[in-house]
């Protein structure tokens, strides 16, 4: 798996879904680290870290491995074009069970997102396609979240549901006939829905300084958990980081 893990980077504050649109220019630099416990059999999970830069103005929002281009809003609904690197997949030496499998590569995903901000919560819908044609897949995510402020702290719980198509599932969790072994049967994936919960905690101990902790769990859909490569139903992740705000 790439060291630029999407699960680590996603822990960074993403103003695209959790806060109001900003027209002021603002940027920050920092460091983030985290671990994602994969559902693959006997997978070699490890802590990963990376530097992060965020920047936002009236037209663009850069957040770690992603870039949004802001489009005109329609009342309380905002629209963005999105490009995002998502670190997932594996190398055959990440697990003894994956011996003989071809590596599955991470990709840049492109598409769009619409966010409806209400007094109760933020609702967002995101549609992305694999721009690098590794999986040739498509994914659609619905998310509801809301930030609750308590002094210098902020708490943002979220619920997600992500549909991934058959090409995505087959690429990351399928086993081709040439990869099949006596202990690992061939498997062709189908589309499914993954559901998740998470909590992001942010803290500003002093002006221009911000610390965050992000925790999440995703229940994988049935066509993923049915794969012979998988022995867990739930994937967990945690990330932590620090930003200096300019």
- The pLDDT value recorded for residue 12 is 45
Q: Which two tokens stand for residue 234?
A: 């739930």
CA 190 to chain centre: 21
- The pLDDT value recorded for residue 209 is 96
- The pLDDT value recorded for residue 23 is 58
SS3 90: strand
CATH topology for the 6-245 domain = Porin (2.40.160)
- The pLDDT value recorded for residue 5 is 38
Flag residues of the chain having pLDDT under 70. Answer: 1-23
Question: CA 199 to CA 146: how far, in whole Å?
Answer: 10
Q: What number of H helices and E strands is found in the chain?
A: 4, 13
Report the predicted TM-score, pTM, of the whole model to 2 decimal places. Answer: 0.88
- As beta bridge partners, residue 38 has none
């Amino acid at each position: 798996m790439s060291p630029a893990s999407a699960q680590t980077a996603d822990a960074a504050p993403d103003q695209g879904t959790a806060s109001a649109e900003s027209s002021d220019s603002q940027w920050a630099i920092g460091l983030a680290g985290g671990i994602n416990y994969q559902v693959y059999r006997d997978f070699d999970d490890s802590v990963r870290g990376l530097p992060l830069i965020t920047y936002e103005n009236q037209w663009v929002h850069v957040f770690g491995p992603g870039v949004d281009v802001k489009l005109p809003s329609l009342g309380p609904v905002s629209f963005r074009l999105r490009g995002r690197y998502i670190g997932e997949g594996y190398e055959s030496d990440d697990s003894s069970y994956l011996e003989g499998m071809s590596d599955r590569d991470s990709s840049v995903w492109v598409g769009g997102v619409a966010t409806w901000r209400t007094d109760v919560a933020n609702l967002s819908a995101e549609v992305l396609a694999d721009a690098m044609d590794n999986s040739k897949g498509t994914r659609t995510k619905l998310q509801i979240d809301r930030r609750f402020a308590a002094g210098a702290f902020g708490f943002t719980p979220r619920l997600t549901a992500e549909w991934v198509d058959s090409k995505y599932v087959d690429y990351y969790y399928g086993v081709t006939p040439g990869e099949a072994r006596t202990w690992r049967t061939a498997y062709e994936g189908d589309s499914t829905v993954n559901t998740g919960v998470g909590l992001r905690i942010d803290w500003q101990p002093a002006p221009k300084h911000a610390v965050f902790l992000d925790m999440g769990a995703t229940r994988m859909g049935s066509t993923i958990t049915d794969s012979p490569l998988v022995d867990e139903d739930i994937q967990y992740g945690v990330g932590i980081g620090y930003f200096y705000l300019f």
